[in-house]
A and B are shown apart, each in its own frame.
Chain A
Amino acid sequence: MSELLQFLISGITVGAIYAAIALGFTLIYNASGVVNFAQGEFVVIGGMTAAALIGAGVPVWIAAPLAVIAGMLVGVLLYRLAIRPAGQAPLVSLIIITIGASIFLRGAMQAVFDKQIHRYDGFSGDAPLRVGGATILPQSLWIIGGSVAVFAFLAWFLNRTRAGRGIRATASNRMAAALVGINTGRAMNLSFALSAAIGALAGVLATPVTFTSYDVGVLMALKGFSATMLGGVGSPLGALAGGLLIGLIEALTAGYISSDYKDASAFIVILLVLFLRPQGLFGARIMERV
């Protein structure tokens, strides 16, 4: 029994990281219809900036917000320099643009920081807590709490605030949104800034557990993208559920079946879900306009 509990804790911790990244994907998608493959780089920017600052002696409660702000700045730059100029480019161009941006950012981080692997101490220490025969790191609680908080914030923000509704309106029809007086430019800037902040926050929270280095962004983006599509693109609930589900599938496969094929089982589940429900678990049915 304690083994199952340990597997679940592992799955939820890892899944919460995936979910946080997926939530970042969701926000940008909701505003612009773009799936941003550079999302993983925000995670790395958050982690690397925090590691560099903490390494230089800055206390963590200052370093963490600074790292998130650094991520936000890069997010806005990404929108202004790469996404906005692309305009209404076809999907494949947008995929290439965001992948190109992620490769660029990886190169930039290698030049700005270094090629070493980094970590810093957990916010509440590294002594594990015992729960019914299993153990959990205090930092895992930070990660899980962070993801849930981000989810709650997004659900509230997109549905209940003017700015959030503006973002959603911009996504569904930019011209109509502009006509009813929504500042679509601001909505886009805001969504990229927030999405990048979410990614950077995920990096800041996860680094004590997962470590970080300049080139882990691709993997983060892949996992986050998988989680997003499993849950159904555009839905915050889907992103949260998709992330946790993939984390749990991986941990349970590693625990009960074979650690060799834990990543494979996640992809198999994604493919099966898409065959049965092409719009993902929580996605809206896509209507094709003729």
Chain B
Amino acid sequence: MRRQAVAAGVSALAILTAAPAIAEIRIGASLAITGPAAFLGDPEAKTLEMLVEELNANGGINGEEVELIVYDDGADPNKARTFATRLIEEDEVVAVIGGSSTGATMAMAPLFADYEIPFISLAGAVVIVDPVQEFVFKTPHTDRMACEKIFADITARGLSKVGLISGTDGFGASMREQCLDVAEASGVEIVADESYGATDSDMTPQLTNIAATDGIEAIVNPGFGQGPAVVTRNYAQLGLELPFYQSHGVASDAFLDLAGEAAEGLRLPATPLLIPDQLAEDDPQRQPVQDYIAAYEEKYGEKPSTFGGYAYDAFHLLVDAIERAGSTDPVEIRDALEATEGHAGVTGVYSFTPEDHMGLDLSAFRILKVADGGWKPVEE
């Protein structure tokens, strides 16, 4: 991203000194590349950088080169808003991707309505798209859907009494609230509700309390970062044998490395990105998933994460919309984006409507379980 920013500076100079040779399409991004949400923003930034390179090598959009301008907001809403203003006013972008965190997204959102610029958020919370804002879209599943998916799996196993242990970071707190909200409608009862700080190092007291709750049948851990890995290890340390669920927040191979053998048997809702080789031949997501993984591994020498996948989908949705709009007018791009139908991404198959700016249904979410140190789909 540094290179892009330098390129931005250089090209700004070039514009001052000479007439621009080719018109460019500028896309902006404000991501949490450092700070507490760096494990979201870092793969997102890497993914965007990779995709832009790839796109320009293949001739750009309708023959026009694409320029990406990325800023690091460190998940600070205050910074995010300043950078969003900068992207719109100074960098004159036609669309913005980003907001790794819900706070950053919500702080930026009003600006896009003011300036009429389309914006695709990579953050999870349901408040981003409910109520729908005309210029705001998002690619990840909502935390509400994750709760519904987990609860559906729990009731399918004939269980209903659930203990929550949630991180107190934005992700964990928001998902906890959604889980409490949908519990009754999903046919489960929350009988224990504990929390832990995002960087706590021992959660055995909370787990001990949950395990001692009358009639407890399953444990769900909404959270991301290192917390869920500690919870998983503590769960194994205490020798608990209740069905154990993690969230999509840790759906990555890095989590398996941190949690080790303790993760064996746990389940979580995830995107197909984790099981590229186990997708059916006719699965529309098979192609994008395999393309993304191959390209990312080649460029960075590591596996992509679910979060990078959100950026992958946001970028392709945007490029697709610009191509269909046949114009770089932000409002026309927005209209094309909202008309997206059946776009197969790595996260799911997107169909936006004026009432739905997330465009995914529960089917894109799959319940996976950890078996033999890898991810396996749970047959329904």
Contact = CB atoms under 8 A, between A and B. Distances in A.
B17 interface: no
A13 B34 contact: no
Interface residues of B, number: 33
A201 interface: no
A119 B254 CA distance: 11
Given A6-B204, A13-B202, A211 B42 contact: no
Interface stretch (B146-154, B222-230, B263-271, B334-342): B222-230
A4 B274 CA distance: 40
Contacts of A126: 233, 260-261
B311 to A, nearest CB: 16
Contacts of B258: 117, 119, 211
B239 A128 contact: yes
Interface stretch (A164-172, A237-245, A252-260): A252-260
Nearest to B262: A126
Contacts of A6: 204-205, 208, 238
Contacts of B260: 126
Nearest to A117: B226
A119 B233 CA distance: 12
Interface residues on A, range: 20 to 34
Greatest chain A CB density within 10 A among B36, B204, B208 is at: B204
A210 B208 contact: no
A209 interface: yes
Contact of B206 (A206, A252, A254): A254
Interface stretch (B123-131, B193-201, B314-322): B193-201
Interface string B183-203: 000000000001111010110
A5 to B, nearest CB: 10
Contact of B226 (A211, A251, A254, A259): A211
A210 B201 contact: yes
A166 B212 CA distance: 54
B237 interface: yes
B237 A259 contact: no
B42 A115 contact: yes
Interface stretch (A66-74, A83-91, A213-221): A213-221
A10 B230 contact: no
B208 A110 contact: no
A260 B168 contact: yes
A115 B229 contact: no
A259 B201 contact: no
A265 interface: no
Interface in B32-87: 34-36, 38-39, 42
A251 B205 contact: yes
Interface string A66-110: 000000000000000000000000000000000000000000001
A262 to B, nearest CB: 8
B208 A3 contact: yes
Contacts of B225: 117
B327 interface: no
B175 to A, nearest CB: 16
Nearest to B261: A126
A263 B198 CA distance: 12
A116 B226 CA distance: 10
A102 B34 CA distance: 16
Contacts of A183: none
B230 A211 contact: yes
Interface in A5-46: 6-7, 9-11, 13-14, 17
Given A128-B237, A259-B206, A219 B212 contact: no
Given A211-B226, A213-B226, A254-B205, A259 B39 contact: no
14 contacts: A10-B202, A11-B205, A110-B34, A126-B261, A135-B204, A135-B237, A209-B201, A209-B202, A210-B201, A211-B230, A215-B38, A255-B208, A260-B195, A263-B197
The 7 A-B pairs with the shortest beta carbon distances in the complex, nearest first, are: A210-B201, A255-B205, A254-B205, A128-B237, A115-B38, A211-B226, A10-B204
Given A7-B205, A128-B236, A211-B258, 12 more contacts: A6-B205, A6-B208, A7-B204, A14-B202, A17-B201, A117-B229, A126-B261, A128-B238, A211-B201, A215-B34, A215-B38, A252-B205
